Amino acid sequence: MLRMLTAGESHGKSLLAILDGFPAGMKVDTDAINVELKRRQGGYGRGGRMKLEVDEVDIQSGIWQGVTLGSPITLAVINRDYKLERLKDVERPRPGHGDLSGAMKYLGSVRAILERASARETAVRVAAGALAQQLLSLFGISVFGYVLELEKIKTTPSVGTYSELKAIRDASPMYTLDPVADKEIVARVDQATQDGDTLGGIIEVRVDGLPFGLGSHAQWDRKLDGLLAQAVMSIQAIKGVEIGLGFEAARRPGSMVHDPIHFDASRKFEPSLGYTRPTNNAGGLEAGMTNGQPLVVRAAKKPISTLRKPLDSISLKTKEPENAAYERSDVCALAAASVIVETVVALTVAQSFLEKFGNDSILEIQSRYTGYLELARQR
Task: Identify residues 234-253 at the interface with a second copy (CB under 8 A).
Answer: 234, 236, 238-247, 249-253
Q: How far is the CB of 82 from a second copy (least distance, A)?
A: 10
Which one among 62, 129, 145, 157 touches a second copy, defined by CB under 8 A?
62
Query: Given the rule CB under 8 A, which of 39-47, 54-62, 155-163, 166-174 is the region that contacts a second copy?
Result: 54-62
Closer Cβ to a second copy, 206 or 277, answer by number: 277
Which one among 48, 65, 161, 266 touches a second copy, defined by CB under 8 A?
65
Residue in 89, 87, 100, 205 with CA at minimum distance from that of residue 142: 205
In the region spanning residues 287 to 316, those forming contacts with a second copy, defined by CB under 8 A, are 287-292, 300-305, 307, 309, 311-314, 316
Q: How far is the CB of 187 from a second copy (least distance, A)?
A: 14
Q: How far is the CB of 180 from a second copy (least distance, A)?
A: 20
In the region spanning residues 4 to 43, those forming contacts with a second copy, defined by CB under 8 A, are 4-9, 12-16, 18, 20-21, 24-25
In the region spanning residues 259 to 278, those forming contacts with a second copy, defined by CB under 8 A, are 259-263, 265, 273-275, 277
- Non-local CB neighbours of 262 within 8 Å, separated by 6+ positions: 275, 276, 277, 278
Query: Given the rule CB under 8 A, which of 31-39, 102-110, 133-141, 174-182 is the region that contacts a second copy?
Result: 102-110
CB burial class (10 A; 0-12, 13-18, 19+) of residue 100? Answer: middle
Closer Cβ to a second copy, 5 or 171, answer by number: 5
The site map against a second copy for 182-211 (x = CB under 8 A) is: ----------x--x-xxxxxx---------
Q: How far is the CB of 98 from a second copy (least distance, A)?
A: 2
In the region spanning residues 314 to 353, those forming contacts with a second copy, defined by CB under 8 A, are 314, 316, 319-321, 324
Q: How far is the CB of 163 from a second copy (least distance, A)?
A: 29
In the region spanning residues 108 to 167, those forming contacts with a second copy, defined by CB under 8 A, are 108-109, 111-113, 115-117, 121, 125, 149, 151-152
Q: How far is the CB of 182 from a second copy (least distance, A)?
A: 18
In the region spanning residues 216 to 235, those forming contacts with a second copy, defined by CB under 8 A, are 216-223, 225-234
